[in-house]
Amino acid sequence: MSAAGAAFDTEAVQRIRAAIAGARSVAVLTGAGMSAESGIPTFRDALTGLWAKFDPQDLASIEGFRADPQRVWDWYAERRQGVCRAEPNAGHRALARWAREHPGRMCVVTQNVDDLHQRAGQPDVVRLHGDILWLQWLDECIERPACDATATAVPGRPPRCKRCGNLARPAVVWFGEMLPPAALERAEQVAASCDVMLVVGTSGAVWPAAGLAGRARRAGSTVVIVNPHDSDIDGEARFVLRGTAAQALPLLLA
């Protein structure tokens, strides 16, 4: 369905647009649904074919990686290829266009590990769950200065450091790992200080990201949820639009 064909409440859309227009600061929290419209399946939706027999913990945890590094590396290599093939959708472009036209007034906090916001031209993006296209070392490097994963890793499945032998892994947050402290701190600051928060394409089931909408609401922000499905945090919103990012965001940010 196109943005023009989506059945949104006209009065709600007008009130949301007015709130955005008058906002000094707009925060945007995006989840897997945002990227799904660009053809990037959610983590669990990607567990098909060869990968259907694996528990998610086998493919997204330190323990799973240590048990079978090649299997986990190959899984992420396949996902990276999908990210590289994907293109930003109308929702990504609408956010980036608004941010460029209103410098310093929008910050996107994303749970997604792709680079679609950046490729759309979004100037301010906080990445809570990392970057699937980058590498980091599995273990802390013992060399001083520390080896650079982009410079000293030699090709392999997975790559290994030619200096210290350390294994490279995707620079994403796995089960049981903490979010990057600086990213989480910035996200919480943005949520606590924004006038409007758009929550787009997230189930609201993954914490601590799911708590950002509640933080924004308690601080007096107008919280707007854009999602074709129910989410666990619908109760935090002043407005809920049942549609996708590509349908709703061009309309709200026109």
Question: What long-range pairs does 141-145 form, CB within 8 A, spacing at least 24?
Answer: 141/166
Q: How many CB atoms lie within 10 A of CB 163?
A: 16
Q: For strand 168-172 and strand 130-137, is the pairing parallel, antiparallel, or unpaired?
A: antiparallel
| Structure token digits, residue 70 | 């090649």
Q: Classify 251 as helix, strand or coil.
A: helix
- List the helix and strand counts (H, then E) for the chain: 11, 10
Catalytic residue among 92, 102, 117, 129: 129
**The tokens of 152 are what?**
């000293």
Q: Which whole-number Å values give the CA distances from 158 to 73, 81, 151, in the listed order?
A: 6, 15, 15
C-alpha span between 79 and 58 (Å, rounded): 15
Contact 135, 153 (CB under 8 A): yes
92 is catalytic: no
Catalytic residue annotation: 129
